[in-house]
Chains A and B, each alone.
Chain A
Amino acid sequence: MNTPLKRTPLYDAHVKAGARMVPFGGWEMPVQYAGIVEEHRTVRAAAGLFDVSHMGEFEVDGPEALPALQSLTTNDVSALDIGQVQYAALCYPDGGIVDDLTVYRLGAERYMLTVNAGNIDKDWEWVTTHGAVARWRNVSAETALIAVQGPHAEALVGALADRGVTDIGYYRFVHGVVGGVHTLISRTGYTGEDGFELYVAAADGTRLWTALLDAGRAHGVAPIGLGARDTLRLEMRYALYGNDIDATTNPLEAGLGWIVKPAKGPFIGRDAIEKVRAAGVTRRLVGLEMAERAVARHGYPVVRDGAPIGIVTSGSYGPSVDRYIAMAYVAVEHAAIGTEVGVEIRGQAKPARVVKTPFHPSRTKK
């Protein structure tokens, strides 16, 4: 593949800040600035800024928008108020996952979907093919997205906003001006901390980023790379598309049954998912804690008494829990909390245990 890597509007700011840039899902993104563990701790203790402009945004509007979304996503879009956000999945007819996404209800008949960076082209093709009745607009390239996450996020965004942000509920959003920039202020995130995701015009991205960093620096706010974004979400057991969920996994085994609403009516994948529900899942995405220092990584086998029972999907050292943790699909009969298993690392089964998740308590706004 020789496709040139894409850059977000904040690319220059990252390079100037000394970030290490790496390819990620077709993009050249900052993996770290000061170091993954330090950045992770900054988010839990103060707040961090994440450039997530690589993510995709699609708008859909008109009288056919709701019916199209209802047939595309697993969740019940009709339950959304204007100003509300919903987590959902797009599924294939066989129940495999096309992508996971958030759905924003912007107006009476207007919605925005935020999708994973690496899936933008695939998702665009999918929604415009299977939701062809509605009017779609791919606004990914016009949009910059900055996440502000951590206990100081509310004070930081509040100080720069032309309106109060305290009253914005979890998975709710408002429009406002932040740091002089028109912003969709969304109380969402991917870290388990309170915080916001700020959607702005691509041309305003650097201005908002700089304003947030300048105002936050004295309070310990720092830019955070994709490395810490990954360890933060892992401690919360949030699924990452391509690691923990993909076309070969269904939402039920991934623990995403709560975003599947079969009662809303037909949607792509419903019949297959309901069949799985009726028969019972055969494997489950569980949290593992290693008994010793050992890093379980994507693709490592999970074993019990020498026999394979599953596979690791994500794993790392968790800086806030100070444990070596992982997510893995394991056969249901071995999925109970407390089950002692092994993770095969370089040919050696290292002891691990199925544990309750999240690994680290969530502090998102309730």
Chain B
Amino acid sequence: MASVPAELKYTKEHEWAKREGDRVRVGITEYAQEQLGDVVFVELPKVGAKVTAHKAFGVVESVKAVSDLFAPISGEVVETNGELPQKPETVNKDPYGKGWMIVVKPSSAAEWDQLLSAQQYEQFVSEAAH
């Protein structure tokens, strides 16, 4: 079973969200990177772009597949991981750390509570696998 850190929140599209003060850091889960396989391309929005919860904010491509990245929460992008376009394999190596994608300044606090807990996400993944 892929690791699912307890302190993070999750989406059913396999993104994680981490609260850092009034901002939220976003990436894809260990399970997601395992399913994708070798990531060879990451496309992220620019700083200042608006993202909407459940809507695509970027693209990740592995050797075999193209996948949209979905925003866990609505808001403004205040930071992006500039290393990923050059080193997309970082997503495979460290999905919860150096493989982060964007930092969002949320526009709605309520959306946070709708995200899955680690336990809910783990349950969701184990059901999806069967």
User: Which residues of A are interface residues toward B (Cβ below 8 A)?
Assistant: 31-32, 35-38, 227, 231, 293-295, 297, 316-317, 324, 346
Contacts and interface: CB of A to CB of B under 8 A. Distances in A.
Nearest to B63: A36
Contacts of B63: 36-37, 227, 231, 316-317
A293 B87 CA distance: 10
B37 A295 contact: no
B40 A317 contact: yes
Contacts of A37: 38, 63
9 contacts: A32-B37, A36-B38, A36-B64, A227-B64, A293-B40, A293-B41, A295-B61, A317-B41, A324-B41
Given A293-B85, A295-B61, A297-B66, A35 B38 contact: yes
Which 5 pairs between the two chains have the least Cβ-Cβ distance? A317-B40, A37-B38, A36-B63, A295-B61, A36-B38
Given A36-B62, A317-B38, A317-B63, 5 more contacts: A37-B63, A293-B85, A293-B86, A295-B40, A295-B66
Contacts of A31: 64
Contact of A346 (B37, B59, B64, B92): B59
A346 B58 CA distance: 11
Interface residues of B, number: 14
Contact of B37 (A227, A293, A324): A227
B27 interface: no
Contacts of B38: 35-38, 317
A324 B38 CA distance: 14
Interface in B91-113: 92
B72 interface: no
Nearest to A317: B40
A293 B88 contact: yes
Contacts, number: 37
Nearest to A20: B37
Given A293-B88, A346-B59, A35 B37 contact: yes
Nearest to B85: A293
A36 B37 contact: yes
B2 to A, nearest CB: 13
A231 B38 CA distance: 12
Contacts of A294: 41
A324 B37 CA distance: 17
A75 B48 CA distance: 60
A227 to B, nearest CB: 6
A326 B53 CA distance: 34
Nearest to A297: B66
A346 B66 CA distance: 11
B86 to A, nearest CB: 8
B81 to A, nearest CB: 14
Contacts of B61: 295
Q: Which of B38, B41, B88 is the most central at the interface, judged by chain A CB atoms within 10 Å of its CB?
A: B38
B51 to A, nearest CB: 17
Contacts of B41: 293-295, 317, 324
Interface string B1-43: 0000000000000000000000000000000000001101100
B44 to A, nearest CB: 12
A216 B13 CA distance: 40
A294 B62 CA distance: 11
Contacts of B86: 293
A365 B64 CA distance: 30
Interface string B67-89: 00000000000000000011010
A45 B88 CA distance: 23
A227 B37 CA distance: 10
Nearest to B68: A346
Nearest to B43: A346
A31 B88 CA distance: 21
Contacts of B62: 36
A205 B40 CA distance: 34
Q: Which of B62, B63, B92 is the most central at the interface, judged by chain A CB atoms within 10 Å of its CB?
A: B63
Contacts of A316: 40, 63
B63 to A, nearest CB: 5
Contacts of A32: 37
A240 to B, nearest CB: 14
Contacts of B88: 293
A317 B41 CA distance: 9
Contacts of B59: 346
